[in-house]
Structure 1
Amino acid sequence: MQQAAIHDFLTHFFTASGCTLLPVPDSDVLKVKLNKEIDKLLMNRPFYWHYIEQTGGTPETATLVFRTDDKAEEGELIHFGSPRLHQIFDAALKLAPYIRLYQNLPPQSSSALEPWLAINAKISYKCDLKKDRICSIGLQLINGTLIDGFQDILDKLPLLPKMPDYCYTLSPLIRIGSGIKRIETFLESVLKSEPTGWADDAGKRWARDQELLDSFYEQQDPKPETYFQEKEAIREQYQPRILVQFINAGLFYLKSSTFLPGSIRDH
């Protein structure tokens, strides 16, 4: 599931950035022809671009091939923790930390579009081991409906940078700042309800190594500085913590009844 989320994120990122997705026979492989802007951000070729711009030459942007399944034969394996994925996260922050889009509806539909605030974040579970996942949460800014996995909905909707003809937007009743706080509270409650076995296991390994350290220095009183340094290193290695890193956010004007039938109707 995590690899599928990465594949969806990459598809969305490169498409929204104006790059060209090239056909591939394997659904776990993504082949993309970069445009100039993304090539500059990802390929680390400052001298090449300086030469092209100084001479007026025709640039040849790079083509990248990614695979999200280690069984696939073609492409660079990309996963949580891989340097390339972190590089793309950083590029997404530089390019478009915030976006505003409208759902494309049939002509003359005369529909009301409701405001949704969406936030994408990376959640990292850290101890002596590490696990990452992407979280996408959407908040309807009129009635407060919250949806976890909101990016999956957005990926299925046709979106435009300007409002389609014959449509109009409804004014939000929930301010953006208040909406962000609601999403933060929701995410905190989700994290608190998750199983803590990974943290409990880390605590046991922490106690084991601390016991070994104490036994090594048990004849020394007072303890030397090296003891406290090693004790702190053990704490830093094993202490369980959850980090949430913002990726991007957007304001989306959508006809909710097209993806939540029976839940939210036109106002």
Structure 2
Amino acid sequence: MNQAEIRDFLERFFTSSDCTVLSPKNDPHFKVKLTKQMDKLLMNRPFYWHYIEQTRQKAETAVLAFKFDDRTEDGELIHFGSPRLHQIFHVTEELGRYIRLYQIIPYQQSSALEPWIGINMKVSYQCDLKKERLTSIGLQLINGTLIEGFQTMLTRLRLNQKLPDYCYTLKPLITIQSGIRRIEQYIESEINAESSKWAEEAKKRWEKDQSLLDSFYEHRAEKPERYDLEKQALEAQYKPYIHIQLINAGLFYLNSATFLPNTVKTR
């Protein structure tokens, strides 16, 4: 997940939470005025809110300012893996992983909105080293069109929780469950096509340390319990595996003509 994608994610997260984004698109900073709910979830100041609610005074919610590289002054540096971003991921899970939004069409005329399911997931490559990335996939539930970078594409559209006037929704031909399975199969096929060099190198490091461990006990006819424990510890440390975690998902009714066909990945 690069810094541009993180900014897009933050904008979508805070906008959908009714927070006020204070910085324009081309600003190197991202500044946002929190709602009461977001302040409570992100700022960790329970005594302040207890005092405000007990005295019934007007609350002043916090303003968060983020920066995306060390060269920029002011603001909290945020990047993939930073504590603040993980905190926001956690809040996303607490608030619910599923949303429904409708695209606002800029012209007032009858317009059909097609159903799309969008899923954001974190893919973790784990061994003694760790690498993570976010993947965002959208799938249209009528003809099966699938696109990558769905979250980034959504940031270019105006969305609302209510169906706009003069618009109507089309009935999906693909069930949500089937759509999720198609996305899962696509992600699995992409992972299977990736290089497995990272896993092979982890296994080589594992074998090297296992050989060293065996050499310590090669003259023992019966291995002690400690040997088995250390062997298990090496497996836990080095064994490569890939973990996929759902961050959030949503059903989006969109006018596909406003962003297709340039973003089409497959059907």
TM-score (norm 2): 0.92
5 Å-filtered alignment, 1:54-203, equals 54-203=54-203
Displacement of 1:188 after TM fit?
A: 1.0
RMSD (CA atoms): 2.0
User: How many angstroms apart in 2 are the aligned matches of 1:39 and 1:253?
Assistant: 30
AA aligned opposite 2:177: G
Partner in structure 2 of residue 205 of structure 1: 205
- Cα deviation per residue 1:85-113 (whole Å; 9 max; x = unaligned)? 11100111222411111111134321111
Other structure's SS at 2:116 match? strand
User: How many angstroms apart in 2 are the aligned matches of 1:23 and 1:136?
Assistant: 24
User: How many angstroms apart in 1 are the aligned matches of 2:220 and 2:28?
Assistant: 57
- Cα deviation per residue 1:36-73 (whole Å; 9 max; x = unaligned)? 10111111222221121111122222222222223333
Distance 1:90 1:183, change over 3 A: same
AA aligned opposite 1:4: A
Partner in structure 2 of residue 29 of structure 1: 29
Listed as ranges, the gaps of 5+ residues in structure 1 are: none
User: How many angstroms apart in 1 are the aligned matches of 2:50 and 2:179?
Assistant: 43
1:5 and 1:134 in contact (8 A); partners too: no
Other structure's SS at 2:205 match? helix
Displacement of 1:27 after TM fit?
A: 4.2
Partner in structure 2 of residue 249 of structure 1: 249
AA aligned opposite 2:134: I
User: How many angstroms apart in 1 are the aligned matches of 2:203 and 2:27?
Assistant: 40
Displacement of 1:236 after TM fit?
A: 0.9
TM-score (norm 1): 0.92
Other structure's SS at 1:252 match? strand
- Cα deviation per residue 1:121-152 (whole Å; 9 max; x = unaligned)? 11111111111111111110011111111112
Distance 1:120 1:130, change over 3 A: same
User: How many angstroms apart in 1 are the aligned matches of 2:149 and 2:243?
Assistant: 19
Partner in structure 1 of residue 42 of structure 2: 42
The percentage of counterpart residues that share the same residue type is: 62
Listed as ranges, the gaps of 5+ residues in structure 2 are: none
AA aligned opposite 2:52: I
User: How many angstroms apart in 1 are the aligned matches of 2:25 and 2:97?
Assistant: 32
User: How many angstroms apart in 1 are the aligned matches of 2:246 and 2:203?
Assistant: 28
2:30 and 2:66 in contact (8 A); partners too: yes
User: How many angstroms apart in 2 are the aligned matches of 1:25 and 1:5?
Assistant: 13
User: How many angstroms apart in 2 are the aligned matches of 1:130 and 1:89?
Assistant: 18
AA aligned opposite 1:152: T
Aligned residues, how many?
A: 264
Distance 1:17 1:263, change over 3 A: closer
Partner in structure 1 of residue 10 of structure 2: 10
